[in-house]
Amino acid sequence: MTAAAYGNLFSILWPESILEIVSLVILVVDLGWMRGETTATRMRVASLLGSIGAVLSFAWLEMHVGIASVMGGALVSSPTVVAAQSCILILTTLVLLLGLSVRFTRNPGEYVALVLLATTGMMLVAAARDLLIIFVALEMLSLSLYVLAAFAKDSAASAEAALKYYLFGGMSAAFMLFGFSYLYGLTGTTSLSAIAASLAIAPLTPLALVALVLAAVGLGFKVAAVPFHLWAPDTYLGAPAPVAALIASGSKVASFAVLIAVTAALVPAWGWTATLLCMAAASIVLGNLSALVQSSVRRILACSAIAHAGYMLLGIAAHTLAGDQSVMTYAVTYALTTVGAFGVVAIVERSAGSDRLDAFAGLSARSPLLAATLLVFLLSLAGIPPLVGFWVKFQMFAAVLRAPLASGWGLGLVMLAIAGSAVSLYYYLQVLKRAYVTPAVISAPLKVTRLELFLLVAIAVAVVLLGIFPDMLMQWIPAV
């Protein structure tokens, strides 16, 4: 590569570079000057710096919306990619700010720096269109998250969460790399667009099938689709709340963005759609059914995340412009809502020391506004209009039914998905029942900082407004 090519590469990577630089600055500031301060102060400074970095990066992104690609199309930028990346940055900022008062670590500098590194990975994942870049970016994301999941060093649950996440993740990454190597062997290229062209004319071989299935393992792990979902409940349960929120939100958005790109490349090969559909159907059924019996709210969110991944896989398998658009709007709004829900869970945990359903008893009496935001988040996840969760489901199922590729399976799987979301109302209502119906065990008002309340109300308002005016969402994430 020439110097000009590097300059070109750097020009498209400015937002990621900003994050990298800020994460290093945070480490220097925190370890250099802040060691004498209390952990709370250090956390505030580090999180504030991290948020500033994310905002700077966001500003650069929004000023440079356009279509660009470097290194022969290995990394691209387009309005859709920018929307995904902007959303990831917003989610990271929210996670950092909502995590300010969560006490789980004595090393805030490292924590925030790692969050920013993970975010960099997510942004690269969303932009990558080359097998190697995808793998490197996914590893960058995953390695940061493994460490973050273990960040509550005093907590055995956190260690267990991290270990499960790491073992499953490492294994599936290896499978995926193996599959990618087969794909390279079959097509002689690592570029997704070239692979698509090559697979379209290649004869069906068992080798290609093996490659597809192996690639599906790695991506299925990232989106927590059945049968690669086993890590999710324990990781969501044990990881520190902000980290769990990050795993459930930004990481999901990035993974679905790359899954759309990979699908565009692999769909010509017979079997990819079928693989996606099997994962989708199994995720919808298992995710919803397993959520019914949980008594921990974090685990309910984890199981429902599996189900939501199932719905989104349907949209991906439809493989139309409208379908891809709907998957992105779904992933983005789902992530936003989940961050909000985790924010409420973290606040309740801080007071009750547990995320069991009983800890939510009487929430509406202890903090009416907080309970109202939880109501909005969970009903949106259940797909109740006029909240945005309903709109994205409607849009996606409509796109699936209209997709030419889906003529054989569309109706049946959409019915399954709608039945699944009917079931989901039960477990979301279980949480809301505690919050609104069951009398409070602890009657003291809940301690909620102004910042937390402001952010949660802002997210709830966004969920309502985007649901009432979904056109804003569709213009922000265009169908291209």
Partner 1 sequence: MLAWTIYLSFGGALLIALFTQGRPQMARALALVTALGGLILAVLAFFTQSGVAPIVDAAWIPAMGIRYTLSADGISRVLVLLTGFAAVAGVLFSWNIDRRVNEFFGFYLALIGGVYGVFLSADLFLFFVFYEVAIVPKYFLIAIWGSTRREYGAMKLALYSFLGSAMVLVGLLAAYAISGGHTLNLAALQQFAFPVSFQMWAFPLVFLGFAILAGIWPLHTWAPTGHVAAPTAASMLLAGVVMKLGAYGCLRVAMTLFPHGLDPWGWSFLGIGSWRAVFALLAVIGIVYGAAVALIQNDFKFVIGYSSVSHMGLVLLGLMSLSQIGLDGAVLQMFSHGVLAGLLFATVGRIVYERTHTRDLSALSRMHLSRTLPFAAWLFVLAGMASMGLPGFSGFIAELQVLIGAWAAFPVFTVIAGVGIVVGVAYTWRAMQKAFFSDAPAGSSPSALSLPSQELHVFDPITWAEKAGVVLLLAASLAVGLAPRLLLDQITPAVLALPHTLLTGGRL
| Residues within the interface to partner 1 (CB under 8 A) | 364, 368, 379, 384-386, 390, 394-395, 397-398, 401-402, 410-411, 414-415, 418-419, 421-422, 425-426, 429, 433, 436-437, 470-471, 474, 479
Rounded Cα distance, 334 and 325, in Å:
14
Q: Which two tokens stand for residue 357?
A: 């359903």
CB 130 within 8 A of CB 262: no
Nearest 5 degrees, angle CA 115-CA 118-CA 122?
A: 135
Rounded Cα distance, 335 and 255, in Å:
12
Bridging pattern class, strands 75-77 and 68-70: antiparallel
Q: Which is nearer to partner 1, 235 or 288 (CB)?
A: 288
Q: Which amino acid is at 222?
A: K
Q: Which is nearer to partner 1, 14 or 394 (CB)?
A: 394
Q: Which is nearer to partner 1, 171 or 468 (CB)?
A: 468
Least Cβ distance, residue 371 to partner 1 (angstroms): 10
Q: Which is nearer to partner 1, 213 or 440 (CB)?
A: 440
Q: Which is nearer to partner 1, 194 or 425 (CB)?
A: 425
Q: Which is nearer to partner 1, 422 or 441 (CB)?
A: 422
Q: From the centroid of its chain, how far is CA 220? A: 13
Q: From the centroid of its chain, how far is CA 166? A: 17
Q: Which two tokens stand for residue 350?
A: 């801080």
**CA distances (Å), origin 344, targets 143, 235, 429, 438:** 27, 18, 16, 18
* Closest to 110 measured CA to CA, from 181, 50, 182: 50
Helices (H), 319-409: 321-352, 363-366, 368-382, 388-402
Least Cβ distance, residue 429 to partner 1 (angstroms): 6
CB 402 within 8 A of CB 320: yes
Least Cβ distance, residue 249 to partner 1 (angstroms): 25
With residues binned 3-state (H G I as helix, E B as strand, rest as coil), the percentages for the chain, rounded to 5, are 80, 0, 20
Q: Which is nearer to partner 1, 75 or 316 (CB)?
A: 316
Q: From the centroid of its chain, how far is CA 234? A: 17
Least Cβ distance, residue 91 to partner 1 (angstroms): 25
Least Cβ distance, residue 128 to partner 1 (angstroms): 28
Beta bridge partners of 356: 296
Q: Which two tokens stand for residue 166?
A: 């790491």
CB 344 within 8 A of CB 374: yes
CB 307 within 8 A of CB 423: no
Q: Which is nearer to partner 1, 309 or 414 (CB)?
A: 414
Helices (H), 188-230: 192-201, 206-223
Q: Which is nearer to partner 1, 44 or 402 (CB)?
A: 402
Least Cβ distance, residue 395 to partner 1 (angstroms): 7
Q: Which is nearer to partner 1, 197 or 474 (CB)?
A: 474
Rounded Cα distance, 378 and 344, in Å:
11
Q: Report phi then psi at 441, rounded to 5.
A: -85, -45
Q: Which two tokens stand for residue 432?
A: 């809301």
Least Cβ distance, residue 97 to partner 1 (angstroms): 25
Least Cβ distance, residue 365 to partner 1 (angstroms): 8
Q: Which is nearer to partner 1, 210 or 474 (CB)?
A: 474
Q: Which is nearer to partner 1, 108 or 362 (CB)?
A: 362
Least Cβ distance, residue 449 to partner 1 (angstroms): 21
Count other C-beta atoms under 10 Å from residue 32's C-beta: 9
What is the SS3 assignment for 296? strand
Least Cβ distance, residue 191 to partner 1 (angstroms): 31
Q: Which amino acid is at 387?
A: L
Interacting residues of 393 by C-beta distance below 8 A, sequence separation 6+: 311, 330, 383, 417, 421
